Structure 1
Amino acid sequence: MILRPALIAAVLALTLAGGAVAKSRNVTDPDAPRALPEQGPVEVRWQNPAQFTEIRYSGNSSEAKRGNWVEDLAQHLRQRAQKRLPAGERLEVDILDIRRAGNYEPWRGVAFNDTRFIRDIYPPRITLNFRRIGADGQVIAEGERKLSDMGFLSNANPLSNSDPLRYEKTLINRWLDRELKRPGV
């Protein structure tokens, strides 16, 4: 068998790359952000996700930690709030706790260790503090909100079935619709 230089280079590159496998990101990594970068009128911060109900009471905490879902939810909150927030106003949000829809059920066996079962007994819940500040610098509204939706399976938007955070995003959308209600709506 005659090996061509391009083939040799490709095999060598793959061999060397084998040791440089990227580590999977976890929301509890110490170097993971705890706030979105400051930009625009909406500021979103969060506590240590290791203390979130999602991880502390998960049937599979290592799987619950996986990914970037806290930051993804914070980005969604910012984007939706910016669209609804009147010009000149600011919104500051501290996410205190998250319990995602569904749960891991370890009693189902090893084959289902990384499977999140979505059932009505596992509704999404988010606890947050917020401050809405008017263009004049005065606080318009503030407080703690405990968001939950016991009917999340029947209330979800069927068009977003591929988004693993669709239930939590719907929860955020409904809160913003109530909290940032536009006059005359």
Structure 2
Amino acid sequence: MRLHARKWVAAALLAAAGAASAGVTVNYVKPDEFIDMPRSPQDREQVLRDLSRHFASLGKELPAGQELKVTVTDVDLAGWLEPRRWAMDDIRIMRGGADWPSIDLSYTLEQNGQVIRSGKDTLKNMMYQQRISKYTASDPLRYEKQMIDDWFHKAITGSQVGSR
């Protein structure tokens, strides 16, 4: 019985620690109308899930008690989507010209319920193929993640960590 009570106390402490930790909430406004998303509903959902996970992973860098709320209003992925007649999926071609990624978003950074920073930004990575990236070539959103990292460290944390 005593061991069972310890488990409940440990679970309660973990829950309290999670509630006090930093977090990120991401909302997408009319994602079906975004400039450049995959045609397949499953692929679109995967892109949005991956972007949300990436924002959440950056949220771990926020101090305890801070919450970042992001509203994404448009996404234009790197490259151009080219349909393939003989396959069910499309292929993304990246030429490095005017096909850079961009994301339109607004954000609010709160500390213990008080707004400490908010704004609206258009993220762009015009030199996306000329920069060194920590993301592997197998990551389909490597350029978008790099762009989000740069924005997060400049606009949210005020540091240049991760920027090149």
What TM bracket, shorter-length normalisation? 0.7 to 0.9
1:125 matched residue in structure 2: 102
Unaligned 5+ segments in structure 1 are: 1-37, 56-60
Tell me which of 18, 32, 37 is aligned to 1:50. 32
Q: Does residue 97 of the first structure (1) align with residue 79 of the second (2)?
A: no
TM-score (norm: length of structure 2): 0.72
- The TM-score with structure 1 as length reference comes to 0.65
Deviation at 1:140, TM superposition (A): 1.0
Q: Which runs of 5+ in 2 are unaligned?
A: 1-18
Higher strand share: 2
Give the match's secondary structure for 1:155: coil
Aligned to 2:152: 176
Q: Which runs of 4+ in 1 moved over 6 A?
A: none
Which position in structure 1 is the counterpart of 2:23?
Answer: 41
> Is residue 129–residue 144 contact of structure 1 (8 Å, CA) maintained in 2?
yes
- 1:177 deviates by 0.7
Aligned-pair CA distance for 1:41? 2.4
1:69 aligns with 2:44: no
SS in 1 for 2:26: strand
CA contact 1:156–1:167 (8 Å) conserved in 2: no
Residue 85 of structure 2: aligned partner? 110
Distance 2:49 2:68 in 1: 17
Aligned length: 139
Q: 2:127: which partner in 1?
A: 151
Give the direction of change, closer, same or farther, for the CA distance of 1:105–1:157 in structure 2 (3 Å limit).
same
* Offset of residue 156 of structure 1: 4.3
Q: CA deviation at 1:158?
A: 6.0
* Root mean square deviation of aligned Cα: 2.8
Which SS does the other structure have where 2:129 is aligned?
Answer: helix
Q: How far apart, in 1, do the equivalents of 2:74 and 2:160 lie?
A: 32
1:4-19 matches, cutoff 5 A: none
Deviates more, 1:170-179 or 1:40-49: 40-49
Looking at CA atoms only, which structure, 1 or 2, has the larger radius of gyration?
1
- For 2:147 and 2:131, locate their aligned partners in 1 and report how far apart those are by CA, in whole Å: 10
CA contact (8 A) 1:41 1:82 kept: yes
Tell me if structure 2 keeps the 8 A contact 1:156–1:170: no
